[in-house]
Structures are given as structure tokens and as C-alpha cells.
Amino acid sequence: MKRGIWLFGSMVVALLLVTVSMAATGKIDGKAEFERLCSGCHPAGGNTINPAKTLMKMTREANGVKSVKDIVKKIRKPGPGMKQYDRKELPDAQAKAIAEYVIKTFK
């Protein structure tokens, strides 16, 4: 019985350590976040609602959305048809990771 509790305790500690170290490295998976939040309307960098506004470099830049900053701005204050994400729903670090993924991926 005592051993059981000890085992359980060390498992909890191990789990806590993993969680803390993951938070400490602060690695956010931009791809996973993009797929979770954006790919519904932007599958493969397209745009199912407004086909003139895809995430592909040429189209995006022609529409004035060029940098990570521009994309984060878009996420915070989108045009018609796009869902808005505020800081509470999508913190800056995550929004940035998504924007970096978009620039890196959709050429």
C-alpha cells in the first residue's frame, strides 16, 4: 500500500517535470496551430471563402500582407469573412508562430 502511494507520487512528479520543461522551452508548433485554427478556411494556404485572398506569397503580398507583423495584424483585425482572434484566444507568441509558418510554407 505504502509503495503504491510512493509510486503514484513519483509519477506525478515526473509528469510535472515534463510539463514544466515543455513550458520553459516555449516551443510553439506553428503548423499544428495553423491546422487547428486556420486550415478550415485556408486549406493548403488557399481560401475557401474569398479565393482572391489566399495565403500564397504572390497573392498575399499583392494584398499588402507581407511580414509576420502583417499576418498577426490580419489575425487580430481580419477583413470580411474571416474569424477574429483576440489575445485571450490566441496569445501573441502563438499568432507569431502561425505567421512564421504561413510565410515559410505557402510560397
Query: Could you list the residues that contact ligand HEC (CB under 6 A)?
Result: 37-38, 40-42, 47, 49-50, 53-55, 59-60, 63, 65, 71, 74-75, 78-83, 85, 98, 102
Least distance (Å) between residue 73 CB and ligand HEC? 9
**Residue whose beta carbon is closest to ligand HEC:** 79
- Taking the least distance from each CB to ligand HEC, the nearer of 4 and 51 is 51
- Taking the least distance from each CB to ligand HEC, the nearer of 26 and 36 is 36
Least distance (Å) between residue 107 CB and ligand HEC? 13
C-alpha closest to that of 106 among 41, 69, 59: 59
C-alpha closest to that of 107 among 60, 51, 70: 60
- Taking the least distance from each CB to ligand HEC, the nearer of 9 and 78 is 78
83-86 CB contacts, 8 Å cutoff, 24+ apart: 83/41, 85/37
- Taking the least distance from each CB to ligand HEC, the nearer of 83 and 87 is 83
Of all residues in the chain, what percent are helix, strand and coil, respectively (each to 5)? Answer: 60, 0, 40
Contact assessment for residue 85 and residue 37, using Cβ atoms and an 8 Å cutoff: yes
